[in-house]
């Protein structure tokens, strides 16, 4: 055998060895292509390895935003939506407050209540181009609410294409509202799982469930900055993406065994947490006891999909570069990755002050986050409004 032939054989053997490792690595995921779209079949029992990531693996350009504190805008627990110009904070039993992007308070934009321009239970979306808030009140079956973010004025009722209770609305790239009904319509010609309408109330299209299954979709929807909405169908281990008038699979979860019926101990439910260009964070909630009228007991396992490598890992603690801390994977579910390419995470002032004390005492806590954190807490009191960490998708 010549030296050249020996070198070829060694190279070929190394190739086969690497191929074997690659096949082993890919046991956690099978990928099916639907044109340009990928469907990920996740084999949960084959996920063995864990992965801990930094917040900076997902986002960049972090800043701290102190929300102004005064008697008109005191905040406790709230949910936030951040745009280039504004920050909206929704607080239960209170309403939606509006701040400038630098944290200065502007106004109470929407009141909670039973009035014609108030809401009881809501999902809402922001048209950033036209600076309009569209709000769906569960109790208002014939119209959506709309508010001008520049002036705070109510812009009037926006007619629904189909009357009925809806659990969610999204704004598409071509400025249409995508609506998720709460249940089947009483009118056969209006029965669908999703529909789109224009801003005059005209129906654009209806979207039925895959394979005509008699199922309802959960109100939890995600989108990853590219107007690719994800929908989770209740009691089915599949996450879908809308393509035309159809729902196509995006993620399918293989538990490796039979999943007990909902409500029975051992039942596993899969939920998306957040999605960016390269990553999908999701979790498995499984019951530890049968559901009773009093409580539901269960546990959570967190996972992370690396889309580039086509691998799934158990998600370990997430390292928050801006505050020099690890947070449990279950707490990372409160990191919000918005559809406009902005991520945000909120700290109560007293919690951030405690964390800052620990972080700044660590000589390894590096710039530029060290200076940003130090500047933020310099005038922060423990009874002040929350502080947001705001970043931008990578």
**Is residue 384 within 8 Å of 339, Cβ to Cβ?**
no
Residue 341 lies in a domain: yes
Q: Mean of the pLDDT values across residues 50-54?
A: 95
Quick one: pLDDT band at residue 54, thresholds 50, 70, 90? very high
Question: What is the arithmetic mean of pLDDT over 112-126?
Answer: 92
Q: How far apart are CA 171 and CA 265, in angstroms?
A: 38
Is 255 within a domain? no
Tokens of residue 173, six digits: 């790239």
Q: Write out pLDDT tens, residues 156-190.
A: 999 999 998 888 898 888 899 999 888 767 777 77
Q: Is residue 199 part of a domain?
A: no
> Within a domain: residue 292?
yes
Q: What is the pTM of this model?
A: 0.86
15 band by pLDDT with thresholds 50, 70 and 90: very low
Q: Which domain holds residue 344?
A: 37-67+264-394
Asked whether residue 310 is domain-assigned, the answer is yes
Whole-angstrom distance, CA of residue 195 vs CA of residue 191? 10
Q: Which pLDDT value is given to residue 21?
A: 39
> pLDDT per residue over 356-366, tens digit each?
999 999 999 99
Give the Cα separation of 114 and 355 in Å (integer): 40
Percent of the chain with pLDDT over 70: 85
**What is the reported pLDDT for 108?**
96
Q: Is residue 293 part of a domain?
A: yes
Number of structural domains (the chain) is: 1
Q: 360 vs 54, 172, 327, 334, 387, CA distance in Å?
A: 19, 43, 17, 24, 17
Q: Which of 192, 130, 139, 138 has its CA nearest to residue 161? A: 192
Window from 48-57, 117-126, 260-269 with minimum mean pLDDT: 260-269
Residue 18 lies in a domain: no
363 with 52: CB under 8 angstroms? no
Give the pLDDT band (50/70/90) at residue 62. Answer: very high
| Other CB atoms within 10 Å distance of the CB of residue 196 | 20
Q: Are 42 and 252 spatial neighbours (Cβ–Cβ below 8 Å)?
A: yes
Residue 368 lies in a domain: yes
Q: How is residue 351 annotated by DSSP?
A: H
Q: Does position 99 have pLDDT exceeding 70, yes or no?
A: yes
Q: What is the pLDDT of residues 277-308, one digit of tens each?
A: 889 999 888 888 887 756 678 888 999 999 99
Q: What's the pLDDT band for 14 if we cut at 50, 70, 90?
A: very low
Confidence of residue 226 (pLDDT cuts 50, 70, 90): low
């Amino acid at each position: 055998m010549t030296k050249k032939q020996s070198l070829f054989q060694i190279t070929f053997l190394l190739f086969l060895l690497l191929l074997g490792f690659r096949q082993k690595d890919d046991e956690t995921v099978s990928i099916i292509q639907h044109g340009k779209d990928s469907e990920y079949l996740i084999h949960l029992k084959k996920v063995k390895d864990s992965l801990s990531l930094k917040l900076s693996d997902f986002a960049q350009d972090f800043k701290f935003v102190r929300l102004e504190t005064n008697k008109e805008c005191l905040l406790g627990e709230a949910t936030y939506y951040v745009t280039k110009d504004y920050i909206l904070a929704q607080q239960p039993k209170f309403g939606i407050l509006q701040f400038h992007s630098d944290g200065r308070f502007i106004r109470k934009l929407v009141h909670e209540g039973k009035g014609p321009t108030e809401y009881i239970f809501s999902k809402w979306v922001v048209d950033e181009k036209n600076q309009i808030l569209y709000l769906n009140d569960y109790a208002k079956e014939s119209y959506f609410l709309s508010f001008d973010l520049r002036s705070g004025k109510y812009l009037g009722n926006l007619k629904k294409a189909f009357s009925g209770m809806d659990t969610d609305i999204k704004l598409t790239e071509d400025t249409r509202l995508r609506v998720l009904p709460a249940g089947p319509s009483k009118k056969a010609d209006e029965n669908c799982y999703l529909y789109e309408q224009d801003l005059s109330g005209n129906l654009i299209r209806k979207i039925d469930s895959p394979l005509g299954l008699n199922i309802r979709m959960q109100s939890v929807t995600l989108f990853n900055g590219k107007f690719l909405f994800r929908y989770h169908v209740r009691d089915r281990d599949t996450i879908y993406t809308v393509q035309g008038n159809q729902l196509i699979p995006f993620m399918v979860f293989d538990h490796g065994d039979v999943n007990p019926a909902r409500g029975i101990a051992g039942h596993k439910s899969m939920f998306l947490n957040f999605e960016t260009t390269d990553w999908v964070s999701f979790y498995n909630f499984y019951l530890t006891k049968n559901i009773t009228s009093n409580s539901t007991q269960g546990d959570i396992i967190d996972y992370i999909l690396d889309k580039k490598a086509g691998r799934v890992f158990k998600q370990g603690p997430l390292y928050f570069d801006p505050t020099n801390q690890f947070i449990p994977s279950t707490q990372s579910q409160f990191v919000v990755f918005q559809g406009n390419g902005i991520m945000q995470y909120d700290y109560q002032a007293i919690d951030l002050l405690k964390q800052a004390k620990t972080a700044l005492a660590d000589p390894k806590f590096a710039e530029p986050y060290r200076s940003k954190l130090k500047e933020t807490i310099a005038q922060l009191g423990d009874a002040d409004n929350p502080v947001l960490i705001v970043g931008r998708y990578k």
